[in-house]
Structures are given as C-alpha cells and as structure tokens.
A = this chain, B = another copy of it.
C-alpha cells in the first residue's frame, strides 16, 4: 500500500524463481520457460535445491548463491513453505516478490498471509499476490507468467483480480490483435494493489490505455485520488463483476446500506472519469479502439449508410451511448448532395441507398472525413446485391489510413461470408470494424466519455470551515454514554453548529413554558410527548397537530398529559415538545457515509417514501467542489421537480448544494462519524432555503 515506486517490478534487471522446476507440467517450469522464450532482457536465476538446468537456464540451489541484486523473486512453492522463502528473500534484500502460490486469504487463511506481508514490509520488500499468475512487462520483454507465451507488443495495460480471466484475456488479445504493454495479476492484493500499479502506469509512456477487471476494491480517498489522476492522463476501462445482487453474493462482496454498493461504485468511478464496460468483450473492443483513435475535436457525428434500417439502428445506438448526431441540415445538404443519389438522404444518417458502390462510399467518406465541421464518422454497410466486399475493404483501408490519426471513425458491415472475411481482414489491422452496429457505436461512446472527462477543468475542492471542536464535544458525550448513535437533540445540535436549518422546537415542562415556546416559534405548531417509556406516540394520543393559537396549545398540553397517563400510568413524562409545523416542500435526502471502497462519500436523492421505492439517488466521493455537487444534484431523475414543473417555482438548489457540502464536511472532518442521513431534507422555493427534518448520525464502531 505504500507509495514507493514500482520501477523495479516493471523494469527488473535480475529475476529469481524460487520453485523453478524440471518438470514441464509444473508452473515452476512454465514461468521460467515463458521468461526465456519471451527474451527477457535481464538475468534469470532459477532456484532449485537440486541445481541443474530449468528450461535451458542453470539453476542455483539457493537464492543466497546468486551474486547479483535481485529485483523480483517469484515464488511458486507450496503455501506452507512460502513464509520461509519470503524470509530468505528479505535476507537477500530482494526488492519485490511475486507469490504465485494460492491457499491464503482467498480460502480464509488470512493469518499466514498477514504474517508474510508484515515480514516483507519490515524489510521494505513489496509483495505482488499471493494467488496470481505473474506479471508481463513489455519494457524489458518480461513474461513472468504461466499464461500464453507470445504476447503481442502494444500499449494496453491489463490489471486483473481474477487469474483465470486474466490468462484468458491475454489469449484473447492475441486473436483480437490487441498489443499489450503490461499485464498484472493482483490476486489477493496483500500488499501491491491497483493504486500502486496505477501510480506507476500513469507515467508509463508505453501504456496508453488501461483495462481493469475488479471484483472488490479498497483504498478510500487515496483510491479516488489515484483513479482521478490516472483517468485524466489516459483512458481507463473497468469491468466490475458482482453488479447484481446475486452476483455480489457470489463474489461475497460488501454491500451498501441504502442502494447496493454497485450503484456507489458506478457513480464514483464515473466521477473519477473511468469508463465502465459490462462485458469482457466490450472492454477489449474499447481498449483497442481507445489506444489507437485520435480525440474528436467536437461532438458532431455523421452516420454514412447504404440502408435506412441500419441507419436508424445506429441512431438508436448513438442515443444509448451518448453520441451527438450533427444536425446542420443545410451544411449537410451542401456537402453531401453531390454524393447522395436520388431517393437517398443528405440528412444525418446520410443514406447512400442500397445501390451504393465502393466508389460512392469513397466519396462520402472523404467528404465527411475532410470536413472540419464533422468531428467523428460512423460508416455502415448492409450486404446488398451491388455491395462488393473486396472493393469496400480497399476503400475503408485507404480512407482509414489517411484519416486515422486526425478523426475518429468506426465501421460496421453486416452480411454473409464475404462480409465476415472483410471484417476479419480489416480487424487484423487496427481498423475498428464490427458486425454489429451497436458494437461500433459503443467504441465511439467510450472515446466520447474519455474526451469529455479530460476536457473538464479540475477545480479544487473547498471544504468549508466548521467548528469540529464543538461537534467533537457532542460526540465525546455520546461515546462516554457508550452509544454509537446520536439522539435527535444531539444531531440537531450538530446541525445548529454548521448552520443547517432545522424545525424550531423546545421541550416544555409545564403549561407556562409551553405557551412561552409557542409564542417564540409562532403558529401553526405541533406538540409531542417526550418520554422514553412511550414508543408509539401517536397510539398513546401523545401528538397534537396544527395548533393555531394559545387556547389550542393549552388544551393540547392537558389532553396529551391525560392521554399518556391513561395509556401508560407509570410512564415518566419528561415534557412536551413544542415544534414548528414544517411547511410542505420537495422532500429530498442527503447522506454521507464512509464507504468501504472509496472512503467518505455523499449521497443525494428524492426523499420521503420515494427514496425507498424509486432509489433515485446519486453518489459522490467527498471532498467535492460546488460544480461537482451541482452535477450530482442534477443527475437524479427527479431533478425537474427542483427546477419546478407545471409552473412551480424553482427550488432552492443552492441551499441543497450547501447542505450536501456541510454534511459531507462533517463526516470528512470528524473521523468518529461513519454515517449521517438527513431524510427528509425539505426544499423550498429559491431563496427560501431548506429544512432538515429528521437527522440520524452514527459513529464508527472501533474495529
């Protein structure tokens, strides 16, 4: 977890393999063989007590016999012997160890794993694993894995939590012609995790795109920070399994409180600028595209097609993936009228009709690609009677070659064998061509996400100054009371400290006080019994609503006391709460919580009963600047309610944002607090503020 540089892991000079085997069926042999066949540029030191040669390389009987400094020691021996091997590595001052061996925390053997990592840390040695398949790093031609041998050189880096998926993905990159700069299997992440790896890869010039397969992730604010910085430098595509309830169960993953943790994950990686793929195939497609395509200069996209049907399907896909279709019909007509035949259309999608030949495509493509008002191009073809797949292939090759570095373009052609052959041929190069229209458009969508992300100017988060000392005093009281939750009046006191408006309320001991408080608050009023012995206030007749004057207050006071005495004669009544009647407004919810993955987070959504039913909420990692908070507020589906629908006044969104900022800041500044929830936060018309009606605050349990 420490932030020291992993240069020696990615660019080692000398590698030892503890457990190097003479048996070609063993992992201890295969790794040595892969390192040799991969033409590693440094020195290889197989370690085997019997000596001899492993995959043609002379073995040493012990790591101490090696004279060179060791950058990486790979350990493949059984779990029970790993600790001793690690010990000998520390004595040799090895910089990194990769523990291939499994049988540690993934099967509940946490203590042994912890013992190993502690030893390594005491000796400044980094640990990758256990339970990994190794590392590949193109910089020194190192293939220290027991996966596929000949990995294609390129600029995509893969970080994977699943070994099996990692090995299979590596194989797939070869058939899909995707070049790799590195592959790192992180396994149990006992020491080195995604944060460490990203910190290296951010500045690694060989890596242009990063693919991550994640099952569960930790790291808090530091993770968020690293994600954000990395995603501003190069596109990051992530697959996270366990997005469904059942999937999460299968992954034995952590769960969120209100919404499933997957919603939190989804919102926060989006906040960080990371692109999420659902399937492995689409993640690989996107990475290949992202590592080759230039950034679009703007958002205007044009579809060129020979069929109205696939044109419409592509327009559907554009909406799904957030692609903007160029709409200047005049300019489109001016540019394309010479290219589009009768019965065709110069409107976007530009329809060349089923009679389009490769030559027509050539003209249309070059018109679109050289036009400065058009920022990206989607070119589609259905196999019609006149569609010559070979000629089309040549046209695509020519046009793509000419513009591939200046303008993003994707292709989709659909039909029989000739078409399939065209696709195979073009994909062998870097041409982004797909059989399905949606797959093609999705690539452009991923690029558009990345492009939008890096264009956003990063503003500093400003955490408002709050009186943490006053808050801490309240918390200390709660702790000395051996409680983990705050009472209503304690939570309200904290709201007062940070100046979040709450309904006015006082507890009256007698009728005189009741009258005094009533006049202080103003009518209408609500009165409620205050008694630890009476849980169901409304069943006991302990509540009176909508009191409009002094007489009603006096009557209510007497009847509440009577009702409660009848209901539970031995109840100790501490007093009667006299509270402001809260005017109705838009009910929202604001929350803050220490998320197990991302640390401090805030939540905003439609409140009241709707939050349970509609789950219309958005999440962000905290701290946040005001712009980001505005984005978070406007992201919920019911946002139009805050803007005012049906002629309603606009609501006080500014005060909602301030409240989110304050609630987040309390959590952020007070490590004792793990959860804050304001539900409902009533929002009034613009300028009229908000009111926090019910507030729950929970303290972190010490672990």
Contacts and interface: CB of A to CB of B under 8 A. Distances in A.
A311 interface: yes
A52 interface: no
A67 interface: no
A694 interface: no
Given A436-B279, A614-B638, A246 B319 contact: yes
Contacts of A59: none
A616 B614 CA distance: 9
Interface in A142-177: 146-148, 161-165, 167-172, 174-175
Interface stretch (A201-209, A236-244, A680-688): A236-244
A27 interface: yes
Interface in A487-535: none
Contacts of A612: 640, 645-646
A313 B241 contact: yes
A382 B645 contact: no
A318 to B, nearest CB: 6
A319 B246 CA distance: 7
A316 B163 CA distance: 19
B315 A250 contact: yes
A204 to B, nearest CB: 25
A280 B414 contact: yes
Interface stretch (A43-51, A362-370, A416-424): A416-424
A421 B312 CA distance: 34
A490 to B, nearest CB: 24
Count of identical protomers in the assembly: 2
Interface string A405-422: 000000000111111100
B436 A281 contact: yes
A343 B108 CA distance: 10
A245 interface: yes
Contacts of A241: 309, 312-313, 316
A107 interface: yes
Contact of A307 (B165, B172, B247): B165
B343 A165 contact: no
Contacts of A632: none
A613 to B, nearest CB: 5
Interface string A612-625: 11101000000000
Q: Is the interface of A mostly helix, strand, loop or mixed?
A: helix
Contacts of A641: 609-610, 613
Interface in A26-75: 27, 30
Q: Which of A174, A243, A309, A325 has the most CB of B within 10 A?
A: A309
Given A382-B168, A638-B610, A313 B247 contact: yes
A438 interface: yes
A525 B315 CA distance: 53
A689 interface: no
A416 B171 contact: yes
Interface string A286-318: 000000000000000000001111111101101
Contact of A343 (B107, B313, B616, B639): B107
A234 to B, nearest CB: 24
A10 interface: no
A475 to B, nearest CB: 29
A164 B418 CA distance: 16
A637 interface: yes
Nearest to A310: B165
A453 B612 CA distance: 30
A245 to B, nearest CB: 7
A136 interface: no
Interface string A376-408: 000000111100000000000000000000000
Contact of A165 (B167, B309, B416, B613): B309
A578 interface: no
Contacts of A313: 239, 241, 247, 279-280
A164 B316 contact: no
A33 to B, nearest CB: 11
B319 A437 contact: no
A24 to B, nearest CB: 11
Contacts of A107: 343
Interface string A437-448: 110000000000
A612 B245 CA distance: 30
A213 interface: yes
B385 A30 contact: yes
A468 interface: no
B613 A416 contact: no
Nearest to A167: B384
B640 A175 contact: no
A249 B279 CA distance: 30
A146 B354 CA distance: 12
Contact of A172 (B164, B349, B415): B415
A354 B163 contact: yes
A373 interface: no
A255 interface: no
Interface in A644-667: 645-646, 648
A436 B280 contact: yes
A385 B146 contact: yes
A602 to B, nearest CB: 22
Contacts of A239: 313
A382 B171 CA distance: 10
Given A171-B417, A174-B417, A280-B414, A382 B316 contact: no
A278 interface: yes
A313 B248 CA distance: 10
A609 B280 contact: no
A103 interface: yes
20 contacts: A163-B354, A163-B384, A164-B310, A164-B382, A165-B307, A165-B309, A167-B382, A167-B415, A171-B415, A171-B416, A171-B418, A172-B414, A172-B416, A241-B313, A242-B316, A246-B325, A251-B308, A251-B312, A613-B638, A613-B645
Given A148-B416, A164-B308, 16 more contacts: A30-B385, A147-B385, A163-B307, A163-B384, A167-B384, A168-B415, A168-B419, A171-B417, A171-B418, A241-B309, A247-B313, A247-B316, A250-B312, A251-B308, A281-B435, A609-B645
By Cβ-Cβ distance, the 9 closest A-B pairs, closest first, are: A171-B416, A162-B309, A164-B307, A244-B319, A247-B316, A164-B382, A171-B415, A241-B312, A168-B382
